[in-house]
Amino acid sequence: MSDEVGKIKIGLEVHCQLTSLATKLFCSSPADYRERPPNTNICPVCIGTPGSLPALNRKAVYYATMVALALNFKLSDRMLFFRKNYFYPDMSKNFQITQYDRAGGVPFATDGYIHLDSGKKIRLGRMQLEEDPAKLSYDGTIDSSTKTFVDYNRAGVALIEIVTEPDLKSPREAREFLNKLTSIVEHLGVSDLGLEGSVRCDANISLAGGRRVEVKNISSFKEVERALSFEMTRQKSLTSKGISIAQETRHWDDVRRITISLRVKEEEQDYRYFPEADLVPVVLSKGFIKDVKSDMPELPKERERRFQQEYNLSGETAQVLVKEKGLADFFEDSAKYSKNAREAGSWLAVDLQAFLNEAGKELADLEITPKHIAELVDMVSNAEVSRGAAKTIFLEMLKTSKMPRSIAEEKGLKVIADSKFVEDVTEKVFKENPKAVQDAVKDEKAINFLLGQIMRATRGRVDPAVANRIVREKLSAVKSSE
Ligand SMILES: [Zn+2]
């Protein structure tokens, strides 16, 4: 198994909308096309009526430059836009304005990379800026559709396309890569990846010596690992029966969770790229690049380092926290309200992650706030509750969103530091365990048994420091009375 896994090659093509822009890539129609009646968010440019002229959105170039620099790309000195010609209802112009052209076109940037946690480098071949096509919806499933509807509201929205080399070796690595990419894009603030359809992914996968299968239209990053796992199993099972894998394009059905053959490729499609004569070549000046660099927000890698220094977090904890910008922000707020940032980090990176994985949820699905975490952390630091009780409170808090202190009171989980109460319990334990008391008088180490009995009798609710003091006082009284 592991031998075969080593030979798998996976490459990804990621499309990400620059949702933070006010307008589309080549016109002044709003970029925010969601929740508008179909075909109302359009103008002559994005529809491509004769005589309309595109004008490049400067801010889109600015954002794309930011993404390219954050992903270690080399920016092209002089970039061109091309028309990619095809006939399909999602592009009323019958061409898409994009950048790549196999015959010498220049994309926005080339040769970038992302490091995985293991240190492995995933090469990014190229990045380009292009317009999004319209959105098609089908009457029924794709297989048995009778009608197709088209909504041009999305047509012309700025997209960046990032293409990896086939360096990924497993569906899990693909997911880790996409998580890293997501976190970087979120930290840059150029796109809200939580919006429906703001990121889409195509994947290609081939087994050792096998032909390349492309899986199209994976609508969310979470689905990528699933789609690739399905495809890996399908290809392995065919290969083991001696059936060769066809080079084809398949569609991921995220309801049935299977891939379906769309078309078997005989040859590369010829899109007849030619330069978009209505747009001038783009040259990024040194001053422009300098401005972008100086405006660049803190990236996940830098934030990870800062978390270790500023909050005294372990490298592992910091790494988990920056995987999602939302989680990293949540941590920083929790740290602000609590006395012990390191503890807050540990609850969020370990206990919270375990809960979310098991429940199949995300942080955003919960109703807790950073103040919940801060209060719990402080209760443990102040010895108001034991660590064991804190875990119970934590889980209850995630489920009910109640504040930890009120859960502790309701459930009677607060530590008892009242000396009189502890003395009474200690006396009772001494009476029940005369042999242990004698042992403890002789040997200091035997004291732990008595402390354990006190904790057991009170279900761990007694303040350990108070119990320790009282047991020692009582033991020395026993000793002197002998
Ligand atoms: Zn428009």
* Distance separating alpha carbons of residues 279 and 282, to the nearest angstrom: 9
Angle at 408 between CA 405 and CA 413, to 5 degrees: 145
Q: What is the pLDDT of residues 344-395, one digit of tens each?
A: 999 999 999 999 999 988 898 999 999 999 999 999 988 888 888 899 999 9
Q: What is the pLDDT of residues 237-295, one digit of tens each?
A: 888 888 888 888 898 888 888 998 887 765 666 788 888 989 999 999 999 999 999 99
Q: How far is the CA of 158 from the centre of ligand 1 (A)?
A: 11
pLDDT recorded at residue 103: 55
* Distance separating alpha carbons of residues 301 and 314, to the nearest angstrom: 14
**Annotated domain spans of the chain:** 2-291, 298-410, 419-481
pTM: 0.84
pLDDT recorded at residue 102: 60
Q: How far is the CA of 455 from the centre of ligand 1 (A)?
A: 71
Query: Shortest CA distance to 363 belongs to which of 330, 319, 387?
Result: 330
Q: How far is the CA of 131 from the centre of ligand 1 (A)?
A: 11
406-439 per-residue burial string, b: 16 or more CB within 10 A, e: under 16: ebbeeeebbbebeeeebbebbeebbeeeeebbee
* Distance separating alpha carbons of residues 20 and 18, to the nearest angstrom: 6
Query: Shortest CA distance to 462 belongs to which of 361, 410, 388?
Result: 388
Tokens describing residue 230: 């399905």
Q: How far is the CA of 52 from the centre of ligand 1 (A)?
A: 10
End-to-end CA distance of the chain: 70
Q: How many residues does the chain have?
A: 482
Q: How far is the CA of 30 from the centre of ligand 1 (A)?
A: 8
List the beta strands (DSSP E) in 320-449: none
CA quadruple 350, 352, 358, 364: dihedral, nearest 10: -140
Q: How far is the CA of 23 from the centre of ligand 1 (A)?
A: 8
Q: Is the CB of residue 371 less than 8 Å from the CB of residue 332?
A: no
The single-letter code of the amino acid at 277 is A
Q: Are strands 213-218 and 248-253 parallel, antiparallel or unpaired?
A: parallel
Q: What is the pLDDT of residues 181-217, one digit of tens each?
A: 999 999 999 999 888 889 999 999 998 777 889 998 8
For the domain spanning 419-481, the CATH number is 1.10.10
* Distance separating alpha carbons of residues 343 and 349, to the nearest angstrom: 10
Q: How far is the CA of 160 from the centre of ligand 1 (A)?
A: 18
**What stretch of H or E contains 451?**
helix 447-457
pLDDT recorded at residue 143: 56
Q: What is the pLDDT of residues 53-106, one digit of tens each?
A: 999 999 999 999 999 999 999 999 888 899 999 888 888 999 999 997 565 667
**What stretch of H or E contains 222?**
helix 221-240
Percent of the chain scored above 90 by pLDDT?
Answer: 63
Q: What's the distance, CA 241 to chain centroid? A: 37
Q: How far is the CA of 330 from the centre of ligand 1 (A)?
A: 37
Q: How far is the CA of 39 from the centre of ligand 1 (A)?
A: 11
Q: How far is the CA of 92 from the centre of ligand 1 (A)?
A: 12
Instruction: Please say if the pLDDT value at position 3 is more than 50.
Output: no
Angle at 323 between CA 321 and CA 327, to 5 degrees: 50
